[in-house]
Structure 1
Amino acid sequence: MLALYLRDVKLGIRAGGGALVGIIFFLAVVAVVPFGVGPDLNLLARIGPAILWIAALLSVLLGLDRLFQADREDGSLDLLLIAGDRHMSALTIFVKCLAHWTASVAPLVIATPLLGLFMNMEPDAIGAAALTLLVGTPAITFIGAAGAAVAVALPRGGQLVSVLVLPLAIPVLIFGVSASYGAVTDPAPFLPPFLILTALTLFFAVIGPLGAALALKWGTD
Structure 2
Amino acid sequence: MIALIRRDLRMALRAGGGALTGVLFFLAVVVLIPFALGPDLALLRRLGPAILWLGALLASLLTLDRLFTADHEDGSLDLILMGRQPLELACLAKAIAHWIAAGVPLIVASPVLGLLLNLDLAATGAVALTLLIGTPALTLTGMIGAALAVSLRRGGLLLAVLVLPLSIPVLIFGVAASSAVATPGAEFGAPLSILAALSLVGLVVGPVAAAASLRQGLD
Deviations 1:145-190 (A, max 9, x none): 1100000000111111111000011000000000001122121110
Question: Match for residue 129 of structure 1?
Answer: 127
Aligned 1:10-159 pairs, distance under 5 A: 10-84=10-84, 88-159=86-157
**In 2, Cα distance between equivalents of 1:207 and 1:130:** 25
**In 2, Cα distance between equivalents of 1:175 and 1:210:** 24
- Paired amino acid for 2:193: L
**In 1, Cα distance between equivalents of 2:185 and 2:217:** 49
Aligned 1:142-221 pairs, distance under 5 A: 142-221=140-219
CA offset at residue 9 of structure 1?
A: 1.4
**In 2, Cα distance between equivalents of 1:218 and 1:35:** 45
Decide which moves more: 180-189 or 65-74.
180-189
**In 2, Cα distance between equivalents of 1:14 and 1:95:** 16
SS at match of 2:17: helix
**In 2, Cα distance between equivalents of 1:107 and 1:160:** 25
**In 1, Cα distance between equivalents of 2:158 and 2:11:** 23
The answer to whether the 8 A contact 1:49-1:129 is kept is yes
CA offset at residue 84 of structure 1?
A: 3.5
**In 2, Cα distance between equivalents of 1:30 and 1:14:** 28
Aligned residues: 219
**In 2, Cα distance between equivalents of 1:157 and 1:37:** 33
Structure 2 residue ranges without an equivalent (≥5): none
- Paired amino acid for 1:206: V
CA offset at residue 16 of structure 1?
A: 3.7
TM-score, normalising length: structure 1: 0.96
- Paired amino acid for 1:183: V
The answer to whether the 8 A contact 1:13-1:104 is kept is no
Aligned structure 1 segments of 4 or more residues deviating by more than 6 angstroms:
none
Question: Match for residue 4 of structure 1?
Answer: 4
**In 1, Cα distance between equivalents of 2:152 and 2:4:** 25
The answer to whether the 8 A contact 1:12-1:19 is kept is no
Deviations 1:170-219 (A, max 9, x none): 00000000000112212111000000000000001111111000000011
CA RMSD of aligned residues (A): 1.0
Percent identity of equivalent pairs: 57
- Paired amino acid for 2:202: F
CA offset at residue 43 of structure 1?
A: 0.7
CA offset at residue 45 of structure 1?
A: 0.6
Structure 1 residue ranges without an equivalent (≥5): none
TM-score, normalising length: structure 2: 0.97
